[in-house]
Structure 1
């Protein structure tokens, strides 16, 4: 799906070829990529270009990625959905210069509003590596609940890392908005 969402403070839009340089710059930081399962480190411009080639028009909601674009600052990060063994998974990252500004909470909120309106899925899954307290705080604030712990490969760290598994149901999400 080609989705564009306007929030009070920024735009969520499809990734574009011109995003390769800022994506590579922000993900070539172990403080960012080391919190993500599917991103290698070091992260090169060629990695960003290869990923952008996979972002073709018409992907289903479960494979949609949204670029966070701040007015006057440009690309700040991404929120994305992908298919998992239990159902759709939401993941996200934010470049370090943008941390601590409430951007990701707002971006994930807008993305989940869209996802639950655009699909019939009753549950979305996510999680964080055990050391990522900031991301876990976002998930808890938004109504995600912990479902257990697992070991998950972190490409950037080239290691299996303890992962806190979470999920959010449509009913919890919709009740939150009332």
Structure 2
């Protein structure tokens, strides 16, 4: 499978590339963003970011064998966030983030809807999970809006906080999601 480009009304979802490092560092270097994510350190680690972007490019070369794949989200030609699907060899899980200047504008709901549609139309996965920290009302709202339903409470290990924080796990099936569109 080649690296897709997904276009929505306002956004372009595309594969990450090494040139995204400075935008990642700026947007993910904001503690208010990093603290809501499981795998992002604070302060942002440039070498770790460079390695992550290189792995992201490699994963798109063999999507069928990849354990995860990611998209970066562009608005008006600038990267504003990212998302990915991990655990692709099991029940995949979606994760996403958005730079703080772009919060509250509906960008992530639009991006997640497009990415989930792509996943269900281009893979054999029948179910998708997502987890968000209980204090992250924005991320929980995105999942609820797209038809994900609560399946339980979990702990989310946050690298930036150095602690595990309460989170909610939500899921949606392929049929539920595509019928809701």
What's the CA shift for 1:84? 6.8
Matches within 5 A, 1:124-135: 124-135=128-139
Q: Helix, strand or coil: the match of 2:128? A: strand
* Residues 47-80 of structure 1, C-alpha deviations (whole Å, 9 max, x = no match): 22111111113242662211101114x1100011
What TM-score comes out, normalization by structure 1 length? 0.93
Residue of structure 1 in register with 2:147 after alignment: 143
How many residues in Structure 1 have an aligned counterpart in Structure 2?
176
* Residues 99-128 of structure 1, C-alpha deviations (whole Å, 9 max, x = no match): 111100000000011000011111001110
What TM-score comes out, normalization by structure 2 length? 0.92
Distance 1:30 1:161, change over 3 A: same
Q: Helix, strand or coil: the match of 1:101? A: coil
What's the CA shift for 1:86? 5.3
Q: 1:160 and 2:164 equivalent?
A: yes
**What stretches of structure 1 of length at least 5 have no aligned partner?**
none
Q: 1:123 and 2:127 equivalent?
A: yes
CA distance in 2, matches of 1:88, 1:160: 21
Q: How big is the alpha-carbon RMSD for the aligned residues of Structure 1 and Structure 2?
A: 1.5
Residue of structure 1 in register with 2:44 after alignment: 43
Check conservation: 1:33, 1:39, Cα contact below 8 A.
yes
**What stretches of structure 2 of length at least 5 have no aligned partner?**
none
Q: Aligned match of 1:64 in 48, 69, 73? A: 69
CA distance in 2, matches of 1:59, 1:51: 16
CA distance in 2, matches of 1:23, 1:33: 11
Runs of 4+ in structure 1 over 4 Å off: none
CA distance in 2, matches of 1:15, 1:26: 14
